[in-house]
Amino acid sequence: MAVIADRCPEIQVAVVDINQARIDAWNDADLSRLPVYEPGLDVVVGRVRGRNLHFSTSVEEQIALADMVFISVNTPTKSKGLGAGQASDLRWVEACARTVAQAAAGHTIVVEKSTLPVRTAAAIKTILEAAQQQDGQQRTFSVLSNPEFLAEGTAIRDLEEPDRVLIGGDDAAATEALARIYGHWVDAAKILRTNLWSSELSKLAANAFLAQRISSINSIAAFCEASGADVREVARAIGTDSRIGPKFLNAGPGFGGSCFQKDILNLVYLCRHFALPEVADYWESVVTLNTWQQHRIAQLVVQKLFGTVTGKRLAVLGFAFKADTNDTREAPAIRICGDLLEEGAQLAIHDPKVVPAQMARDLKQEAAEAADALNGTGSWALAQSVEEAVAGADAVLILTEWRQYQQLNWQELAARMRRPAWVFDARAVVNPEAVRAAGLTLWRVGDGEG
């Protein structure tokens, strides 16, 4: 919405939420304290906030004023009930649809921005149409699907220069109204129009294909480690085939983030619902491989450290699910650290952006100083710097590809560690020669020569 406001000065954009604290944070005079860390977002918000971008809790009031309402709420995986563990939890989407139904005035275009299961628009339409008939007032609705393809960390660039914008719907006038907004800065040829169901499914399918590439390269990484090949050489060799392409072929600790796992599980659930069990199994294996990769990395750390990490100090560099974000949703670090805590390790965790309260929530354990190191109870503590993290450590684990981890002074760090000392580079960001020259033993994901 900040980018829309920036590119369309004549449009008033109101962002509303029922959470007062969240809205206050978006209105914070100090732009470095916005609730989402995203490179460049502070600049855009600083430029448009108060001009044509407004944050408030006046939900009903703003809906009544709006010509177009974007539903942009969470659709996490259901944790209980029918479809638990796979289906999307639509309670917030439905609550929004009901609020819009009650509060809207005149004609309102309702845009699904949240990622939704296929045919959700039908439910939204039914709720809206029921309100239309309910009190005899003059209100009408059009429903569009307009999924978001931005990736975190590059959100502003992805929005300003999208590969495509997708608009699904059967109301031509509504579709064109939304296309005109994007037309302020996006090439007409990049604005794709489809029916509602294709649009909803395209979002799930795009994420499934992207995640599948990561599981594919991670499966090959494991094979490389076993066979003496190097996954980066293999990735380059296959990525130069123009049909495959070079992007999204970085082996790592497995994908994280709020979308990939959730969307694939949702797709799996829908496939089963539509009696396509083979298709469901096919996509589910992408998630299974991803989970396996995370456990595999924790296991090999234990194995290389003489079969036990009980009481050992391990420096964990990176907790976010990728660089340039403070988001930890489904971060591989959660499962890997969880396994190591279970093994009794003492973790010193460093991340440039993730706050310790978030780490405590994710690890389901408060930070604590290591008590009796050999009693078998794992513990973790925040490290303010990489130097602090590695002090006295037996091993360093790199789990997020933050730029600063690519330029570490290994001679200096090695001097602070307990020997024999290891570096486990799950993102392949370090310079292998520099690590080895510092007398450290290196394991790199997908490196069969290590």
Is 3 or 104 the residue whose CB approaches ligand UDX more closely? 3
Is 410 or 443 the residue whose CB approaches ligand UDX more closely? 443
Give the shortest CB-131-to-ligand UDX separation in angstroms. Answer: 31
Give the shortest CB-186-to-ligand UDX separation in angstroms. Answer: 16
Give the shortest CB-71-to-ligand UDX separation in angstroms. Answer: 16
What secondary structure, in 3-state letters, does the chain show?
A: CHHHHHHCCCCCEEEECCCHHHHHHHCCCCHHHCCCCCCCHHHHHHHHECCCEEEECCHHHHHHHCCEEEECCCCCECCCCCCCCCCECCHHHHHHHHHHHHHCCEEEEEEECCCCCCCHHHHHHHHHHHHHHHCCCCEEEEEEECCCCCCCCCHHHHHHCCCCEEEECCCHHHHHHHHHHHCCCCCHHHEEEECHHHHHHHHHHHHHHHHHHHHHHHHHHHHHHHHCCEHHHHHHHHHCCCCCCCCCCCCCCCCCCCCHHHHHHHHHHHHHHCCCHHHHHHHHHHHHHHHHHHHHHHHHHHHHCCCCCCCCEEEEECCCCCCCCCCCCCCHHHHHHHHHHHCCCEEEEECCCCCHHHHHHHHCCCCCCCCCHHHCCCEEEECCCHHHHHCCCCEEEECCCCHHHHHCCHHHHHCCCCCCCEEEECCCCCCHHHHHHCCCEEEECCECCC
Question: Is residue 337 among the annotated active site residues?
Answer: no
Q: Which entry of 8, 96, 224, 259 is annotated as an active-site residue? A: 259
Give the shortest CB-248-to-ligand UDX separation in angstroms. Answer: 4
Is 286 or 421 the residue whose CB approaches ligand UDX more closely? 286
Is 120 or 207 the residue whose CB approaches ligand UDX more closely? 207
Is 142 or 250 the residue whose CB approaches ligand UDX more closely? 250
Is 175 or 212 the residue whose CB approaches ligand UDX more closely? 212
Q: Report the interface residues with ligand UDX, using CB under 6 A.
A: 148-152, 207, 210, 214, 248-250, 252, 255-257, 259-260, 321-322
Give the shortest CB-155-to-ligand UDX separation in angstroms. Answer: 8
Give the shortest CB-249-to-ligand UDX separation in angstroms. Answer: 6
Q: Which residues are catalytic?
A: 259
